[in-house]
Amino acid sequence: MTMHAQDPDLKEAIGAQADAAFETVQALYRQLHQYPELPFQEHATSTRLAEALEHLGLEVTRGVGGTGVVALLRNGEGPTVMLRGDMDALPIKEETGLDYASTRTAETESGTVPLMHACGHDLHSSCVVGAAAVMAGLKDQWSGTLMLICQPAEEIFGGARAMLEDGLYERFARPDVILGQHNMPALAGTVGHRAGGAMAACTNLAVTIHGAGGHGSMPAQTVDPVVIAAHVVTRLQTIVSRKVPPEETVVVTVGKLHAGTQANIIPHSAELEINIRSFDNALHRQVVEAIERIIRAECEAGRSPTPPEFRVLNETLALHNDPATVERVRQAHGEHFGEANLYAMPRLNGSEDFPYFGNAQAGGFGGEDIPYVYWFIGATPEERWQATPGNGVAEKMRHLEMPHSPYYFPGNAVTLRTGIEAMAAGALAYLG
């Protein structure tokens, strides 16, 4: 009998398969957590994930877009549903106190750095494996193709485009719908959804302002790039206040300004790094263009001998969840978890490269856009949640550790189990 998301027997079937797979998936999660790897260096991580998916009988391909893994579970005629998880870690020293906490380090251009899964990507990729196990155990109850992605380098907004440029959709399948999730410090066991704009576009821009250095006592014989940079920093703040419509949300932050070596030396150059975030891709591009225009003008006004240099460190699109897809997945999650365990996710200024999979046309990879939904699973145990001050999800989360904190730990059993079942229930909303 073909089952649908509203069938109570399907909820029991998903739960039974999740029970059967949970111990193995939890062991995998703890292994990934203990041995994190930086973006595009996830060699051991991707090997462990590929082996786990191969053990389930899926068609697995390694090395897609560098270290990415693609797995297919073909099960007759029907749509193709893609489930995506990321797997890279961060250069942060873990302070969680877990008995399987990371003590690893890595060598980078800036020296030796500690490593930690402080954003829960180990949780996301483990949930993909868990969902694959559930779906493999329910093959007689759905039809179509399940496409599973373990993506590298989300933290530097590089992995999604790398996999697409490596022919992800041409080599494997072009999905009809794309599903993804992220952990947040909401109550464990709950799932949050948001239609439309959910996460911000982001550009990290490096700028070099050129001057003509010399002795600090003779500034008239120099071109001081520090003064030019100071004017740039101040003038950039007028973009949001005077160029952006008041109803829009845009952030322009100069997070790095470096010049010179000591007080009596006027340097030859100044280096800036600028972070830009917004929720509208077209407006975002206009803001980046305004930043470049202002910097060129200030350099000309300051007699800079060489035009400024611009380098995009990394960037990503705004994440806009397809409303119809959100409603379909939310209904499936409501039937599975109960309406009381769903919440309205507030819009986040954080950013993701997940939209590139759906906005393939905007990303320059051809084809029409693919509908997607990216939801959020709670990661705070109930006892901690109840002890946290505030009313409502947004207010309570202000008092809790967020992703990228050295104390952040989303991998409790309830959250892992919720993530597995949320992905399976979402897939079955289209394949059941």
pLDDT digits (tens, 9 = 90+) for 120-163: 999 999 999 999 999 999 999 999 999 999 999 999 999 999 99
Look at residue 359 in the predicted model and tell me its pLDDT: 83
Q: What's the pLDDT band for 361 if we cut at 50, 70, 90?
A: low
Number of helices followed by number of strands (H, E) in the chain: 12, 18
Please identify every residue annotated as catalytic: 88, 154
β strands within 77-216, DSSP E: 80-86, 105-108, 111-114, 144-151, 177-187, 191-193, 196-199, 201-210, 214-215
pLDDT of 5 above 80 = no
Residues in the chain, overall count:
432
Task: Give residue 4's pLDDT.
Answer: 45
Reported as a pLDDT band with limits 50, 70 and 90, residue 1 is very low
Task: Return phi, psi of residue 404, to 5°.
Answer: 85, 5
- 352 or 361, which is more confident? 352
Angle at 426 between CA 142 and CA 431, to 5 degrees: 20
Asked whether 412 and 183 are in contact (CB, 8 A), the reply is no
Res. 364: pLDDT tops 60: no
* Per-residue pLDDT, 2: 41
pLDDT (tens digit, 9 = 90+) per residue, 58-105?
999 999 999 999 999 999 999 999 999 999 999 999 999 999 999 999
Q: What is the pLDDT of residue 3?
A: 43
Q: Residue 362: pLDDT above 80?
A: no
Which among 64, 86, 70 is positioned nearest to 157, based on CA atoms? 86
**DSSP designation for 223:** B
Residue 161 tokens read as: 């485009």
Contact 151, 74 (CB under 8 A): no
pLDDT of residue 322: 95
Query: Is residue 363 scored above 70 in pLDDT?
Result: no
What is the model's pLDDT at position 367? Answer: 57
